[in-house]
Amino acid sequence: MRLVVIGGSAAGMSAAARARRVSPDTEIAVFEKGPYVSTSLCGLPFYISGDVKSWRDLIVYTPEYFREKRNIQVFTEHRVKRILPYKKKIIVEDRNGVEEEIAYDRLVIATGGEPERHFDGENVFYLRRIEDGIRIREFIEKRGPRRAVVVGGGYTGLEVVDALYRRGMKVEVVEMEEVLLPAFDPEIGEDVRRMLENKGIDVILGKRITSLPEGDMVIFTTGISPRNKLAQDAGIETGKSGGIKVDERLQTSHFGIYACGDCAEFRDWVSGKRRIFPLGTVANKTGRACGENAAGGNVKIRGIVWVSVFRVLDMEIGKAGLSLKEAREFGMDAESVMIEGKNLAHFMPDAGKVKVKLVYERGTGRILGGEVWGEGVQRRVDILATAIKTKMNMDELAMLDLSYSPPFSPVWDPVVIAARKGGKK
């Protein structure tokens, strides 16, 4: 059997690697239009800041490793131009412009997402691929820009703001919505705005970009769209999100063709609605499932909980499941509760503040989502993600057994305190 994978980033290479483990005799080929595979794109802001010294540190495995150690043929700088599902072939163009038809028995589409492009110029940048990070850092180190504009106030944009600020630049962030972090509830965005402005960072809200902002450099981080043209041209169904439709086994509308990562849409565990999840964890998990199923397995993904965590300057921010705004937009009868507590025992000298907001369903108390910001965030977001996945209600979360030691947490964790407060409503 021959398995062909389109796309060599996290999802695609996870699919290829898992297929090899499941089926040692399958012929596996990966086609990637760029020069690199198996890259850690989430590390790009930390490469820009200088925390990661070399872009090569963001390469997990090389094509040579996959060829020599895993018996997976990897073709970089090979662009797949068409999928011919009824012939079970793809048309590939190599780096010299030569086209070739490649046959497959099973196909995995892992084409990822693409940034919304607005303007071009030598000082205009988008952040999606390793090459983008290299170009940005080279520009900073060679040109020495003093003022930067970041367009997009989501979490990637704020990570870039953090990176540029710590390089000593004057930074302005522009967001077209009336609040930063529009995927979160507004309390977080407002706290982040105050923190940034206290650091001397300019925050412009409610502004849609119609002309190129003035700055020594401009970085756009305004969102990711599924790269779905190959699938659509082949007659493969896409959903309202633009992502490729897949079933629980991640098979598309064409038998034997699977999709994973940022280019596909999956069922949201909480709402039941289908959406895209442009997260590295989801790319790796769905890629692994695709590879196993394409090689003859039967892994099912019945839903995904949105889980994210990041840091901007002095604040950690995380989210699991739905915000209150999202839950109500999905038609759910949702309510919320918010508390402020300490991340450690109050008598510890380095104890800091942490805020927890829980979203739950009226009547049942089922936990729909949670947002945590301040200090000591990641552990608490993971607790909430687990509670959501296991369909806990507020009373059950309030009675959860959690570890305690003064250097790690207070005796009553803020998550438990929030659940108790919400359970009384």
- Between the alpha carbon of residue 215 and those of residues 124, 150, 197, 198, 219, the distances in Å are 10, 10, 18, 21, 10
CA atoms within 13 A on the CB side of 109: 38
Q: Are 307 and 381 in contact (CB under 8 A)?
A: yes
Residue 120 burial (CB < 10 Å; 0-12/13-18/19+)?
exposed
Alpha-carbon distance 415 to 419, whole Å? 6
Q: Which residues contact 391 (CB under 8 A, 6 or more apart)?
A: 366, 367
Candidates 234, 278, 276, 293; CA nearest to 9 is 278
Q: Which of 42, 260, 263, 290 is catalytic?
A: 42
CA dihedral of 68, 73, 76, 80, whole degrees rounded to 10:
-170
Alpha-carbon distance 140 to 138, whole Å? 5
Distance, first Cα to last Cα, the chain: 58
Tokens of 63: 């094509």
Candidates 164, 167, 194; CA nearest to 180 is 194
Alpha-carbon distance 141 to 131, whole Å? 15
Helix (H, G, I), strand (E, B) or coil at 266: strand
Tokens of 125: 């940048």
Helices and strands per DSSP (H, E), number in the chain: 12, 23
In 23-129, where does DSSP find H-type helix? Answer: 44-49, 63-69
Q: Which residues contact 238 (CB under 8 A, 6 or more apart)?
A: 226, 228, 231, 232, 244, 245, 265
Alpha-carbon distance 399 to 321, whole Å? 20
42 tagged catalytic = yes
Buried b (16+ CB within 10 A) or exposed e, 261-284: bbbbbbbbbbbebbbbbbbbebbb
Rounded (10°) angle between helices 280-294 and 10-22: 30
Helix (H, G, I), strand (E, B) or coil at 233: helix
Catalytic residue ranges: 42
